[in-house]
Structure 1
Amino acid sequence: MELTAAGMEVRIGRKTIVHGASVRVKDKQFVGLIGPNGCGKSTLLKSIYKSLVPTSGSVMLDDLNILKSSEKKVSQKMGVVGQFNEMHFDLTVEQMVMLGRTPHKKMLEADRPKDREIVEDALRITNLTEYKERSYLSLSGGEKQRVVLARTIAQQPEFMILDEPTNHLDIRYQIEILSCVKNLGIGVLAALHDLEMAAHYCDYLYAVKNGVVYAHGTPEDVLTPENIEDIYEVKCTTYRNPITGSLGFAYSL
């Protein structure tokens, strides 16, 4: 399943945040959006999954027109894991994950044996089986994010968007979340803050600066010292991580 977002422009008030950006995710590709805080990458992502209404542009998931389709129809194909997932009411972990089945059910339809089977599988994939009776509000930030990922997996999406899902998590939970998503074997578009994580997990990158796609290509092509200095305004030396084999970075002002 291929995602194509073309000519995306997002204006908030009188200010244009995203200027004619285009991104493409090929079938089963893990694609990252990188860039400094405030560059427009999260705004671009939100316009792709319809959390924000773009001023212009188009988003196609194979032959499904995302911007012109119903939320339910989109949710049957596309899942989203965001950065903040706070709630003001409590559910068990299992109940939270079961919400992922909503796009596939009729209004007020009871949970079916198949739904429960899918939820059990999502809990297993995210290592949450032993948490199923726990209160969601009692969990740590990293545990909550795994529950949200399990809920999204229970949707059985054919494509997933990650909107900076690891920004506030420690390194262990970052690895758990991204490794789990990578192993799903579906197309992924992710806004990522950590360049080493982006280099390790992504097949292809789009670098955003001032609301414009500044560069795109493989991690090796995009994450050069020259590009990093232009985008992030820091000097950088790249090297090969001896553990992962992917790019590593040393920064200085």
Structure 2
Amino acid sequence: MELLAKDMAVKIGKKEIVKNASVHVKKRQFVGLIGPNGCGKSTLLKSIYKSLTPQQGTVFLDDLDVLKSSEKKVSQRLGVVGQFNEMHFDLTVHQMVMLGRTPHKGMLESDTQKDYEIVEEALARTNLLHYKERSYLSLSGGEKQRVILARTIAQQPQFMILDEPTNHLDIRYQIEILSCVKDLNIGVLAALHDLEMAAHYCDYLYAIKDGEIHAHGVPEEVLTPEIIEDLYQIKCQTFTNPVTKGLSFAYGF
């Protein structure tokens, strides 16, 4: 499934946060959005998955007009993992993940054996089977984020948006979550802060500055010292990591 978001513009109050931004994610691509805090990454994503209403633009998942379709119809194809997932009532981990089946069910429809099998598989993928009777509120931040990912996997989406899901997590949970998503082999659009993670996991990158697409291309084309300095106002050098064979960065030169 492909995503095409074209000419997106978002105002909050009188301030233009996103300005005529277009992104394209091809089938099974993992595409990243990078840029400094406040550049518009998360706002662009929210306008794509309908958490915010854009002033202009179109969003299509293949032939589905996302902005004009019902929440249920969109949720049957598109899953979202956000940055913060606090809640004020308690459920078990299994109950939380079962909520991922909601878009596929009619009103008052009971959970089926197939639903239970899909949830078990989602828990297994995220290494949460031994957590399923635990209280969601008792979990650490990284564990909660894995539960939200499992809930999204249980949705069986054909496309996934990651709205800065790892920037408050330690390195172990960042790797666990991004590796799990990569292994799903579906289209992904993710806002990421860590440039080495972006270089390692992403097939293609969009760099955002002041709400506009500043550069785009494969990681080697976008993650250059010149573009990084333009985005973050910091000097850096890039080199090939001898262990991972991917890009690494040294800052402060």
TM-score range, shorter chain: over 0.9
| Cross-structure match for 1:131 | 131
1:18 is aligned to 2:12: no
What are the equivalent positions in structure 2 for 1:1-253 lying under 5 Å apart?
1-252=1-252
> Structure 2: which 5+ runs fail to align?
none
Which whole-Å CA distance do the structure 1 matches of 2:19 and 2:40 have between them?
Answer: 9
Q: Partners in 2 of 1:55 and 1:125 — Cα distance?
A: 38
Give the Cα–Cα distance (whole angstroms) in 2 for the partners of residues 87 and 198 of structure 1.
Answer: 29
CA deviation vs aligned residue, 1:214-249 (integer Å, no higher than 9, x gap): 000000000000000011100010011122111000
Give the whole-Å Cα distance in 2 for the aligned partners of 1:107 and 1:151: 19
Deviations 1:7-58 (CA, angstroms, capped at 9, x unpaired): 0000111111000000000000000000000000110010000000000000
Question: Aligned AA for 1:142?
Answer: G
Determine the C-alpha separation between the residues in 2 that align with 1:153 and 1:112.
17
For the residues of structure 2 that align with 1:125 and 1:131, how far apart are their CA atoms? 13
Letter in structure 2 aligned against 1:4: L
Structure 2 length-normalised TM = 0.99
Matched residue type, 1:239: F
RMSD over aligned CA atoms reads 0.6
Structure 1: state its 5+ residue gaps.
none
Deviation digits for residues 159-211 of structure 1, max 9, x if unmatched? 00000000100000000000000000000000000000000000000000000
Counterpart CA distance in 2 for 1:239 and 1:124 is: 36
4+ runs deviating over 3 angstroms: none
Measure, in 1, the Cα distance between the counterparts of 2:242 and 2:61.
37
Q: CA separation in 1, counterparts of 2:38 and 2:75?
A: 27
Corresponding residue SS for 1:99 = helix
SS at match of 1:189: strand
